[in-house]
């Protein structure tokens, strides 16, 4: 039973439509897939509208989102939420404010790139964000590739777009503690995404993650491609010590960016406990 609890569609910065993602999930042999687009629920909601009440053979879809957070010191943190009520006002408002502010934020990043002599426009980004509800740096990365400024998405991040780059601009973001509270108020389960992925920028210390656990954090993503063996071992130990869910997932954004569904997975007994705890909405199949 393969369970992947962190994936993106083209309603945020993934490359597959929700429908294509589910076809890929079937192909990968997944039994359970969470759709966790950045700051939006539109991807899984579109599939929910097509749900099959009688199906018992389809892939189980877990409603979720990845909330873009920032600490008071300015560090970027991603918080996964599962099985929350999407109509819960605090969480819906939080995601809406973030989505709105991503547009002026993108314009500021483009202004900084233009100032450094790089020829790129907001229209170029829009051409690559297509149907997305959240505009993000990966869309800008694709636009930079199309302009021939860099060769790949990863190269765009390495040269221009990483969190510590002079071209980095943040957007409105709740604190991780606020996101945990909003997810839990909405009946959901909160899991810290790629918490020790140092290649993306600064990360929490283990003590700080323990403090999130005291604020109600329910789990930590342990098995993630951006975690080395040491990071995984530390997070697993922390999860054991504090009774947190230890998950694993692909953080899939598309095949052409080198990601593979089920490249990391969550243990069935961990998934069963998350499912039991999530009270804000239900899983479904299409």
Among residues 136, 176, 195, 248, the one that binds ligand AMP under rule CB under 6 A: 136
- What is the chain written as a DSSP string? -EEE--B--TTTT-SS-HHHHHHHHHHTTEEEEEE--BT--HHHHHHHTT--TT-SSSPEEEEEEEEEEE-TT--EEEEEEES--TT-HHHHHHHHHHHHHHHHHHHHHHHHHHHTT----HHHHHHHHTT-SS--HHHHHHHHHHTTS-SSHHHHIIIIISTTSTT--------HHHHHHHHHHTT-EEEE-STT-GGGS----HHHHHHHHHTT--EEEEE-TT--HHHHHHHHHHHHHHT-EEEE---B--GGGT--TTSS---HHHHHHHHHH--SS--B--
Taking CA atoms, 95 is separated from 92, 106, 176, in Å, by: 5, 17, 13
- Out of 38, 48, 224, 232, point to the residue binding ligand AMP (CB under 6 A): 38
Binding partner of residue 30 among Zn ion, ligand AMP, Fe ion, none, CB under 5 to 8 Å per kind?
none
Q: Would you say 136 or 195 has its CB closer to ligand AMP? A: 136
User: Rounded to whole angstroms, how far apart are CA atoms 252 and 232?
Assistant: 19
How many residues line the site for Fe ion (CB under 5 A)?
4
**Residue 162 binds ligand AMP, judged by CB under 6 A:** yes
- Find, among 53, 95, 65, 99, the residue nearest to 278 by Cα: 65
Minimum distance, C-beta of residue 59 to ligand AMP, in the bound complex (Å): 23
Applying CB under 5 A, the residues found at the interface with Zn ion are 13
Q: Using the rule CB under 6 A, is 174 a contact of ligand AMP?
A: no
Q: Which does 154 bind (CB under 5 to 8 A by kind): Fe ion, ligand AMP, Zn ion, none?
A: ligand AMP
Answer yes or no whether residue 154 interacts with ligand AMP by CB under 6 A. Answer: yes
Interface map 185-224 toward ligand AMP (x if CB under 6 A): --------------xx------------------------
Nearest residue to 75 (alpha-carbon basis) of 214, 194, 253: 194
* Only segment of 19-27, 130-138, 144-152, 207-215 that touches ligand AMP (CB under 6 A): 130-138
Q: Taking CB under 6 A as the criterion, which residues in 244-273 touch ligand AMP?
A: 253
Scan residues 171-200 and list those touching Fe ion (CB under 5 A). 193
227 binds, among Fe ion, ligand AMP, Zn ion, none (CB under 5 to 8 A by kind): none
The residue among 51 and 260 lying less far from ligand AMP, judged by its C-beta, is 260
Q: Nearest residue to ligand AMP, using CB? A: 136
Site string for ligand AMP, 76-105 (x = CB under 6 A): ------------------------------
Contacting residues toward Fe ion, per CB under 5 A: 66, 78, 193, 251
Contacting residues toward ligand AMP, per CB under 6 A: 13, 38, 68, 136-138, 154, 157, 162, 199-200, 253
């Amino acid at each position: 039973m393969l369970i992947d609890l962190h994936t993106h569609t083209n309603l945020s910065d993934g490359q597959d439509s929700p429908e294509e993602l589910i076809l890929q999930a079937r192909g990968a042999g997944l039994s359970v897939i969470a759709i966790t687009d950045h700051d939006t629920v539109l991807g899984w909601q579109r599939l929910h509208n097509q749900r099959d009440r009688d199906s018992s053979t389809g892939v189980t879809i877990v409603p979720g989102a990845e909330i873009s957070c920032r600490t008071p010191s300015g560090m970027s943190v991603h918080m996964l939420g599962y099985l929350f009520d999407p109509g819960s006002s605090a969480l819906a408002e939080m995601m809406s404010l973030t989505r709105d502010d991503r547009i002026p934020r993108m314009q500021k990043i483009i202004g900084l790139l233009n100032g450094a002599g790089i020829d790129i426009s907001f229209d170029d980004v829009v051409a690559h964000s297509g149907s997305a509800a959240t505009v993000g740096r990966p869309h800008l990365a694709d636009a930079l590739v199309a302009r021939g400024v860099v060769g790949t998405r990863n190269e765009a991040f390495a040269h221009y777009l990483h969190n510590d780059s002079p071209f980095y601009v943040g957007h409105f973001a709740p604190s991780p503690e606020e996101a945990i509270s909003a997810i839990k108020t909405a009946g959901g389960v909160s899991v810290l995404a790629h918490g020790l992925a140092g290649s993306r920028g600064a990360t929490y210390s283990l003590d700080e993650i323990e403090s999130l656990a005291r604020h109600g954090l329910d789990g930590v993503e342990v098995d993630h491609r951006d975690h080395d063996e040491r990071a995984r071992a530390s997070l697993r130990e922390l999860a054991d010590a504090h009774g947190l869910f230890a998950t694993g997932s692909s953080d899939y954004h598309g095949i052409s960016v080198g990601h593979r569904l089920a490249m990391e997975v969550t243990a069935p007994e961990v998934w069963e406990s998350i499912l039991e705890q999530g009270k804000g909405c239900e899983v479904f199949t299409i």
